[in-house]
Structure 1
Amino acid sequence: MRRITAIAAFEIKRIFQRRRSFLLLFGMPLLFTFIFGALFTGDGETRPKISVVDQDRTEMSQILIEEIKNAGAVHIKMEDGESASEKLANQEISGYINLEKGFQEEVLNEGTPEIQFVSSPSFEGAGLLEQIINDSLVKLQITSAAAGFYEETTGEEAGAVREKISDELASVPAAVGTVTVTKSADQQTMNNLTARSAGFTIMFVMIAILSSTGVLLEARQTGVWYRMMSTPASKAELLGGYLLAFFLIGWIQFGILMTVSEWLFDIQWGNTLANILLVSSLLLCTIGLGLFIAGFVKTSEQQSVFGNLIIISSCMLAGVYWPVEIMPDFMQKAAKFIPQYWGLEGFTELTARGGTISDIIVPIGILLAFTVVFLAVGMKRVRFE
């Protein structure tokens, strides 16, 4: 055991002597988390920008515009026709709404005014915005018709009645309530920043461990492995020392990234013991994958190229870069055959639902199953003589 720990300590020291290792191990995961987490977080700054060209400039047109604003789906800005067209052509906005002259007159006459919505072909929210415009217009027409009828019946001014009706509608409580289901009262809801942090931590830990496992091939290429086998240490002790080093390097990276992301991004990782078991399973799986790839390549350079290609592409499919839910159905099914998917499933259970060890047995079990397969094939194919 002393020889195993000595080999592991030497390899860990060698890894952290390289300055660029700190960038790969810690800098890149935090940078990618910040960029992609902010990109997919649905705050007000990421809403589509829509311009409104109000040629009517009447009370009714202003009411409609306010209704669309209050829906909160898009960011509204007033423009003239020429400016809106130019911004759409330059892709500065996703589209613009055009209200023609005579809009108020048409509404007061209980007609249906024509509203144009011009958008770029790439704007996927066009259908939603069209529905919001139609709903707002119907609400305006109903309010106007009711105010007109009330004015004829009571003689009260229609404008005042419309204002009363609008105030009453605005004060009606929402019919649908949102309930977040968690298993811990203190658990925060998982947002995209948390998901991306877990995902990129997994990706860069896998890249780092894969790079570390390439040391075995490098040792064979340079003859270091043969010289080490001439020492009293057995082959099992040498291999055990390297595997322990890879495991500890992964834990150092994971532990620091989890701590820093909690401090920087206020990410709550959940149950500590459950996280230890999940991360350990993921690290063992990654080490197994590294040996698996090493069994099919001849040099450490080949392992780095093919390994990074496999990890990055599989991370995309597993939901590291973006939520799995936005991908086609067949890709969502394929993602279940990738270790990173189950790692993210485990972190989702712990961070979003406040789960415990019993709630992540399935992800851990699947990761360990991947580990057994990878190690069995890798240990059989890797040759050091």
Structure 2
Amino acid sequence: MSAAAYESALAGVLGTAREHAEKVDREAVFPAESMAALRASGLMGMFVPREYGGLGDDLHAYTQIASRLAAACASTAAIWTMHAFQVDGLSRFAGDRLRQAVLPTIAAGGTYLASVTTEARKGADLFTAEAPLTWRDGRADFERDAPVVTGGRHAEAFLITLRRTPEAQPHEVSLVYAERAQLRIGEHGEWDPLGMRGTESIGLTISGSVSPDQVVGQPGRFEDIARESMVPLAHLGWSACWLGTACGAFSDLLRWLRSPTRRGGPDLGSDLVRERLARIRVDLDLVSAYLTRLCDELTAARSAGRSWSDAHTRLRVNTLKLAASELTFKAADSMVQLAGMNGGYSRLAPVKFERHFRDLRSARLNHSNDRMWPATGALALLDPKVTLL
């Protein structure tokens, strides 16, 4: 799809997302209208190969769409991003029969694909699973309890991590594709977070039975799918969402500051104000530059058939996530400080910084930085030459 075609596809979605963003945040409800617009736009087919009617795997388009969506509604952007990187894992590792059966429907917008990777005791650790697959008469049965499933109430299908067999070790994780019609689903818990409220990430209990060809990739080797697809694309997409949220807020701030009808607020003739604006802009530019450069590198690697799971790539992907999550929230915090109590902190302020501030506060908690900093330090020890991106 050309840049003009992407722009055309996005146009109606962005208007819908902006129109409903305040309600989605206020009521902590799934952005149904925005998702309906995305389904109709063709953009749900990101990472579906073109031969199945999708958009292919343009990483720059992926991050640009995520960023643009997030400037309008961060929850909508996060939901679309998570769907997209699940689709990439399915497209690359599913068997032929499963690909032929499900990818055309995904490309046409008929399937929103949700991720089921959390469990109560292990939390968000991707690489272990407690609930097992039990094989009976050529079918795989399972019962799964997930405390957090983004948009799970609205998904037509799920990718679910499960222990390969009841006897398998926790790290022998299989990935299973299951459609809602194959499952018994119960809901539990409540969803009332500080930010990213429209992701409606409620808890689900899921049980069902699937055929062997619905196991995606090699049984027990979900780590391969995660390393080569889902984890890098998650951090690219989430970082783009956070950058888009912060850039949207900064754009609103600049328009407000330059408005001839503005009452009160900071003095644009002040060197201190200009310095603060410059620091915000530099932080956003740094995140954007690293995101763009990493997209270039990952695109080149994938085109050449090189792995994304080597230590250098993992280090750079982690660096992006850490930098983006911390610098975009820092920028949002600085914007609120600059706009002041009445200009930025209040829900009644002329610019709605407080929603962006709350949404971006989640960035460091999403795949927690407290776990990622030590892991990234361990990867840094493997690169004594300090090979920078």
TM-score by length of 2: 0.32
**Structure with larger Rg:** 1
Structure with more of its chain in helix, by fraction: 1
- Which of structures 1 and 2 has the larger relative contact order (alpha carbons within 8 angstroms, sep 6+)? 1
